[in-house]
Structure 1
Amino acid sequence: MNIVVLTPIRLLGDGLSACISHCPQMKVLAVVSDFSRLRSTLDATETDLVLIDVTQGIDLHDVRALAAGYPGKSLVALGLTEQRQDVIRCGQAGFTGYISRETPADALCEALTDVAAGRLVCSAEISSGLLRALYLMEKGVQGPAQPADTDPALTRREAEVLHLLGEARSNKEIARALCISVATVKHHVHNVLEKLHLQGRAQAVRRLRDAPGLAGAPAVMAQEAKQ
């Protein structure tokens, strides 16, 4: 099995490569630090599985694009927090499996073998969540229509801030629109990014583009209309 590792942490990548080198029939072809290098590597090699470090936060939009562009590759989330919403979100993005943060090094090769064989080893809670997500998809209720099953709930104010982030407004502009202090805006922005597992404002714009129902546009417009 040919594997490519994506992680921004060189030490982690080298450690994973050394660990996997002891596994029969597994070979790490390359360790890359970003999606651009990953795509170049996939174009130039015969890769079977991509191990993607999610501990530092990644843009799932990039994962979706990767899964669509390379449908024959198994994408595995490395270091995933084993919570129902996180697992469902990764599955919707195109990951075919995950290695949880609690997985010991000596179990890594077995876990990768399970993923390559199409076996998903997870807790009963995760299994229940996946079945629930499939049920909602069958009913046509998915994505932003059911944020409680796919994203942590945002407060009304956080949704308003997210809406304005989607318009590329600065903290001062958001504060003016909502009649709150810049410090309060920074607090809400931090909470939004943390709840949605985003690394910055640019990712927030892309997340809102994928799921516009997350933001409370009507409430924001009402606030501005009063000014």
Structure 2
Amino acid sequence: MTIRVLVADDQELVRAGFVMILAAQPGIEVVAESGDGFDAVGAARAHRPDVVLLDIRMPGMDGIEAARVICGATDCRVIMLTTWGQDDYLFDALAAGASGFLLKDVRRDDLVHAVRVVAAGDSLLAPSVTRTLIAAFISGAAAAPLRRERLDVLTARERETMRLLGAGLSNAEIAAALVVSEHTVKTHVSNVLAKLGLRDRVQAVIAAYETGLVVPGRLGT
């Protein structure tokens, strides 16, 4: 199955570089490219790509607002393109529906891997991103929290899986902690997402903090 990609960045050289790299990969097709947020939203609606690479800072409509519109109106999965020093945008982008982040100086192989991972339904949530999320909650940056009672629909094992997700563990690490197979972990994660109406693992991490299932400073408890 071919992964259809939209690349949106107002820097022409950056955009052209990403397009060239992705278009050369087997199983990946770049269906459109955009230079501003409004055009990116229109292209996403017109072409319905599987993955949208979306720059955070773009003229007209910024990447966060574009991500919010795209994720709300389509099934496209969004990867935000960012640079160092933009951590203040992180939580807003995740809340808008982004499935992960890439630095603009990402290596070729990591770019291709990221597109394939997100297209498969996973998310790019590195430990550094998790740490920034924790800082956001400590400073009270999170808004409109998910009510704790919502977790009542989860089994004890699903709740524990969600807690470990919130601590930033990978599927392999969760499997080791729970002494189960990775396949079982994937099933638990899928159940958590479905029961809570969450889009992906990123939103599950946010929900783990919003409900108090994970408490900053006590991730190991």
Q: How many aligned residue pairs are there? A: 141
Q: 2:80 aligns with which of 73, 77, 83?
A: 77
In structure 2, the partner of 1:175 is none
Shift of 1:102: 4.8
Percentage of identical aligned residues: 19
- CA distance in structure 2 between the aligned counterparts of 1:61 and 1:55, rounded to whole angstroms: 10
1:120 equivalent in alignment to 2:120: no
* Aligned equivalents of 2:85, 2:26: Cα separation in 1: 27
Query: How high is the TM-score relative to the length of structure 1?
Result: 0.51
Structure 1 residue identity aligned to 2:108: A
Q: What letter is aligned with 2:20?
A: A
SS of 1:109 mapped into structure 2:
helix
Q: Deviations over 1:66-91 (max 9, x none)?
A: 32122x11011013438754432210
Residues 3, 50 of structure 1: 8 Å contact kept: yes
Corresponding position of 1:42 = 44
Asked if 2 retains the 8 angstrom alpha-carbon contact of 1:8 and 1:33, the reply is yes
Instruction: Select the residue among 29, 32, 37 that pairs with 1:30.
Output: 32
Q: Flag structure 2 segments of 5+ consecutive residues without an equivalent.
A: 146-221
Which residue of the partner structure matches residue 143 of structure 1? 143
**2:68 alignment counterpart:** 64
Q: Match of 2:47, as an amino acid?
A: T
Correspondences of 1:82-121 after superposition (within 5 Å): 85-121=88-124
Match of 2:179 in 1: none
Task: State TM-score, norm by structure 2.
Answer: 0.52
* Compared CA separation, residues 47 and 144, structure 1 to 2 (3 A): closer
Q: Please give the root-mean-square deviation of Cα atoms over the aligned residues, in Å.
A: 3.3
Structure label with greater radius of gyration: 1
After superposition, what is the alpha-carbon deviation per residue over 1:106-130, rounded to whole angstroms, capped at 9, x for unaligned? 3210111122223334443422444
Query: Is contact 1:49-1:74 (8 Å) kept?
Result: yes
Distance 1:79 1:142 in 2: 21
Deviation of 1:133 (Å): 6.4
- 1:6–1:134 Cα change, 3 Å: same
